[in-house]
């Protein structure tokens, strides 16, 4: 409960006065759940995103992550991203994400969805070892598909991460797969909310453990022309003993 | 297998899959969304004249909802269009939406059929919005602001020609008038939207301050709402900018041409989606793209036979 209060206070502190719009139907990772659609933000748009994510683990202390991010529609169908997640309890982290790592990413969307083809995109990411206990440059390649069936959109993400310098029992590489759906709520009288749900599995951070496998559900709400709020919840039902019992995210995106 | 090998294998598989898909499918097309022209006057209309802005948000719903329903019903079901879809549109307008709706949620099938045409609309609609924002804002040099936003628009490969097109000739294709003949109420409703979109320019420009602008658009809104309640089925052609906002059209002829051409393209697409002469979705898509590429995009100016080279004649249809 205390963690949730901290998250809400942090969100309010991050929220700017209503001004501008990332489209609430354009889905980016962690806003609010760990999936994305195949579309980049429009060329020329700048987005500032911030979120707070808590991970109430079955073993170990609850971990809170602050997720500041800047995204920019740098070229046609291409967005670049700069992110630097900050974790509580940073010394206990294992795997690719370390507190304070500088995360750089590029998403390239190949095509829009047509009657015969899904939308397709590829994401390339690198984590520079600027964070605590971080060594080596970690990289990730993800393929993304989006296909709609009426108003329901289905998204598939499949990626592989490589650790530049794995430590101890850390896996040198791990795959991740997500299947998700999104649906705009309110048709035909309101178009301000998108519901998102996903199921995912990813190889554990340490060797010899079961995949972290879970579900997440979230909502994105267009508050003003430029501001989108998001919130999500999730749980991992399979995985290592310290897997998430409850995941929660609140965030805000401002486009201008 | 080491991770570098795995990585190479993954890249090869992904690249091969994409290459095969691209080669196999003629429908591969880029999304090419572009952000609006960034300026201090962005959203001035929404913030300062919300009553008018919300009507335009309703208009956005109307076009997309019409296209989706025409496509899904084959353009044959009169009650589905004249009653259900039209009343859905009126119901949405009655909610006085504060934000423009997500058109991909309104017309997911149409967007997949003709994204290139939709992107052409989206960019022209953004230009429409930008000009309202400038006119309503306290921007001191409105002419310069409008020049800048027009230049930005014309940099796009999706820009509609700023030349005057022969709209009457563009209304003589074999399938032309199919929509207005079969669905006169919804057609008149669409033309009412276009009336509102172009009629407000002169009133907004002539009014010296925000209070005066608010007052100036009231009679136009009253007339527009009257048209929604009782669609003007007696009109024989779409409203033209020079007819309803002659001062704006004289001052910014390129903008007036773009907006009239945009509205004509809306009518053409309504006809294509309605007509049995183009019975399949593939044929409809091909004809929409042929029209857009040949007659509407500025990139076709050098060869466009629909460009009017003589002086315009003032038209009165409303």
* Residues A124-161 pLDDT 10s: 999 998 888 888 899 999 999 999 999 999 999 999 99
Asked if the structure places residue A255 within a domain, the reply is no
Asked if the structure places residue A88 within a domain, the reply is yes
Q: How confident is the model at residue B22, as a pLDDT?
A: 57
Asked if the structure places residue A201 within a domain, the reply is yes
| pLDDT tens by residue, B53-62 | 999 998 889 8
On chain B, the residues whose CB falls within 8 A of the CB of A25 are 102, 104-105
Binary contact (B31, A39; C-beta < 8 A): yes
Q: Are A24 and A193 in contact (CB under 8 A)?
A: yes
Q: Measure in Å the smallest separation between the Cα of A130 and chain B Cα atoms.
A: 23
Residues A122, A108: Cα–Cα separation, whole Å: 5
| Lookup: tokens for A253 | 């995106």
Interfacial residues of B (vs A; Cβ cutoff 8 Å): 3, 6-7, 10-11, 14, 18, 21-22, 25, 27-35, 38, 42-43, 46, 61, 65, 88, 91-92, 95, 97, 99, 101-102, 104-106, 108-109, 111-113, 115, 281, 285
Residues A76, B32: Cα–Cα separation, whole Å: 6
Residues B107, B72: Cα–Cα separation, whole Å: 10
Q: How confident is the model at residue A25, as a pLDDT?
A: 75
Binary contact (A44, B25; C-beta < 8 A): no
Task: Select from A228, A230, A247, A206 the least CA-distant residue to A16.
Answer: A228
Q: How confident is the model at residue A136, as a pLDDT?
A: 87
Asked if the structure places residue A13 within a domain, the reply is yes
Asked if the structure places residue A16 within a domain, the reply is yes
Q: How confident is the model at residue B13, as a pLDDT?
A: 67
Burial A175-213 (b: 16+ CB within 10 A, else e): ebbbebebebeebbebbbbbebbbbbbbbbbeeebebbb
Which A positions 192-231 lie with beta carbon below 8 A of chain B? 192, 222, 224-226
The domain that contains A15 carries what CATH number? 2.40.160.40
| Lookup: tokens for B23 | 């080669």
Name the residue in chain B with its Cα closest to that of A145.
B18
Q: Measure in Å the smallest separation between the Cα of B295 and chain A Cα atoms.
A: 23
Q: CA Rg, chain B, in Å?
A: 21
On chain B, the residues whose CB falls within 8 A of the CB of A122 are 14
CA A209 to the chain's CA centroid: 23
Q: How many domains does chain A have?
A: 1
Size of interface A-B (CB pairs under 8 A): 119
Domain of residue A72: give its range: 2-249
Q: How confident is the model at residue A217, as a pLDDT?
A: 97
Binary contact (A151, B105; C-beta < 8 A): yes
CA A174 to the chain's CA centroid: 17
Task: Say if A45 is an interface residue toward chain B (CB within 8 Å).
Answer: yes
Give pLDDT < 70 ranges for chain B. 1-25, 311-318
Q: Are B69 and B109 in contact (CB under 8 A)?
A: no
Asked if the structure places residue A254 within a domain, the reply is no
Which A positions 137-176 lie with beta carbon below 8 A of chain B? 141, 143, 148, 150-151, 160, 162, 172-173
Task: Please calculate the CA angle B199-B201-B202 and round it to the nearest 5 degrees.
Answer: 90
Q: Are A33 and A217 in contact (CB under 8 A)?
A: yes
Q: What is the pTM of this model?
A: 0.88
On chain A, the residues whose CB falls within 8 A of the CB of B18 are 110, 120
Name the residue in chain A with its Cα closest to that of B11.
A141
Asked if the structure places residue A141 within a domain, the reply is yes
Give pLDDT < 50 ranges for chain A. 1-21
On chain B, the residues whose CB falls within 8 A of the CB of A224 are 99
Binary contact (A222, B99; C-beta < 8 A): yes
Binary contact (B31, A151; C-beta < 8 A): no
Q: Measure in Å the smallest separation between the Cα of A30 and chain B Cα atoms.
A: 22
Binary contact (A141, B35; C-beta < 8 A): no
Give this complex's ipTM: 0.87
| Cβ atoms < 10 Å from Cβ of A250 | 22
Facing residue for B105 by CB, picked from A73, A111, A184: A184
Asked if the structure places residue A256 within a domain, the reply is no
Number of Cα atoms under 13 Å in the Cβ half of residue B293: 8
On chain B, the residues whose CB falls within 8 A of the CB of A162 are 3, 7
Task: Select from A127, A110, A103 the least CA-distant residue to A40.
Answer: A110
Facing residue for A43 by CB, picked from B27, B33, B105: B33
Task: Say if A99 is an interface residue toward chain B (CB within 8 Å).
Answer: no
Residues A75, A40: Cα–Cα separation, whole Å: 10
Task: Say if A53 is an interface residue toward chain B (CB within 8 Å).
Answer: no
Facing residue for A111 by CB, picked from B6, B31, B38: B31
Task: Please calculate the CA angle A96-A101-A105 and round it to the nearest 5 degrees.
Answer: 80
Residues A143, A155: Cα–Cα separation, whole Å: 11
Q: Measure in Å the smallest separation between the Cα of A159 and chain B Cα atoms.
A: 9
| Cβ atoms < 10 Å from Cβ of B151 | 10
Q: Measure in Å the smallest separation between the Cα of B193 and chain A Cα atoms.
A: 18
C-alpha distances (whole Å) from A224 to each of A3, A210, B34, B59 are 28, 43, 19, 19
Contacts of B261 (CB under 8 A, 6+ apart): B160, B161, B165, B167, B296
């Amino acid at each position: 409960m205390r963690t949730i209060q901290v998250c809400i206070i942090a969100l309010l502190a991050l929220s700017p006065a209503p001004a501008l719009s990332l489209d609430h139907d354009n889905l980016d990772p962690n806003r609010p759940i760990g999936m994305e659609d195949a579309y980049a933000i429009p060329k020329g748009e700048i987005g500032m995103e911030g979120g707070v994510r808590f991970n109430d683990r079955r073993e170990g202390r609850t971990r809170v992550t602050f997720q500041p991010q800047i995204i920019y529609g740098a070229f046609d169908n291409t967005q670049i991203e700069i992110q630097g997640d900050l974790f509580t309890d940073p010394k206990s982290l294992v795997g690719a994400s370390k507190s304070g790592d500088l995360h750089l990413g590029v998403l390239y969307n190949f095509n829009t969805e047509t009657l015969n083809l899904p939308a397709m995109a590829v994401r390339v990411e690198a984590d520079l070892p600027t964070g605590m206990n971080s060594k080596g440059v970690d990289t990730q390649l993800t393929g993304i598909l989006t296909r709609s069936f009426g108003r329901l959109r289905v998204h598939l993400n499949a990626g592989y991460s490589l650790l530049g310098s794995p430590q101890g029992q850390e896996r040198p590489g791990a795959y991740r797969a997500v299947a998700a759906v999104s649906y705009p709520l309110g048709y035909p009288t309101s178009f301000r909310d998108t519901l998102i749900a996903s199921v995912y599995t990813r190889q554990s951070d340490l060797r010899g453990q079961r995949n972290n496998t879970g579900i997440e559900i979230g909502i994105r709400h267009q508050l003003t022309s430029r501001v989108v709020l998001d919130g999500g919840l999730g749980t991992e039902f399979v995985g290592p003993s310290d897997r998430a019992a409850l995941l929660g995210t609140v965030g805000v995106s401002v486009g201008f | 297998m080491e991770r570098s090998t795995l990585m190479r294998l993954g890249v090869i598989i992904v690249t091969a899959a994409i290459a095969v898909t691209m080669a196999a499918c003629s429908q591969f097309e880029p999304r090419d969304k572009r952000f609006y022209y960034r300026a201090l006057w962005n959203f001035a209309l929404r913030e300062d004249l919300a009553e008018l802005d919300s009507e335009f948000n309703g208009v956005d719903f109307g076009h997309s909802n019409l296209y989706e329903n025409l496509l899904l019903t084959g353009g044959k079901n009169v009650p589905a269009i004249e009653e259900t879809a039209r009343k859905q549109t009126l119901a949405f307008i009655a909610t006085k939406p504060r934000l423009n709706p997500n058109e991909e949620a309104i017309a997911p099938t149409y967007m997949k059929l003709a994204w290139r045409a939709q992107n052409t609309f989206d960019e022209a609609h953004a230009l429409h919005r930008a000009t309202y924002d400038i006119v309503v804002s306290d921007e001191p040099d409105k002419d310069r602001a409008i020049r800048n936003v027009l230049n930005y628009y014309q940099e796009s490969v999706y820009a509609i020609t700023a030349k005057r097109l022969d709209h009457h000739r563009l209304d003589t294709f074999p399938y032309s008038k199919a929509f207005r003949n079969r669905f006169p109420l919804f057609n008149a409703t669409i033309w009412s939207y276009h009336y509102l979109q172009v009629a407000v320019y002169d009133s907004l420009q002539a009014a010296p301050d925000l209070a005066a602008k608010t007052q100036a658009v009231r009679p136009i809104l009253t007339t527009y709402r009257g048209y929604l309640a009782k669609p003007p089925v007696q009109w024989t052609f779409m409203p033209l900018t020079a007819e309803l906002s002659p001062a704006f059209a004289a001052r910014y002829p390129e903008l007036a041409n773009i907006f009239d051409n945009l509205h004509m393209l809306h009518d053409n697409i309504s006809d294509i989606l309605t007509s049995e002469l183009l019975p399949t979705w593939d044929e409809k898509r091909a004809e929409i793209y042929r029209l857009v590429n040949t007659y509407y995009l500025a990139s076709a100016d050098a060869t466009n036979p629909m460009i009017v080279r003589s002086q315009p004649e003032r038209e009165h249809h409303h």
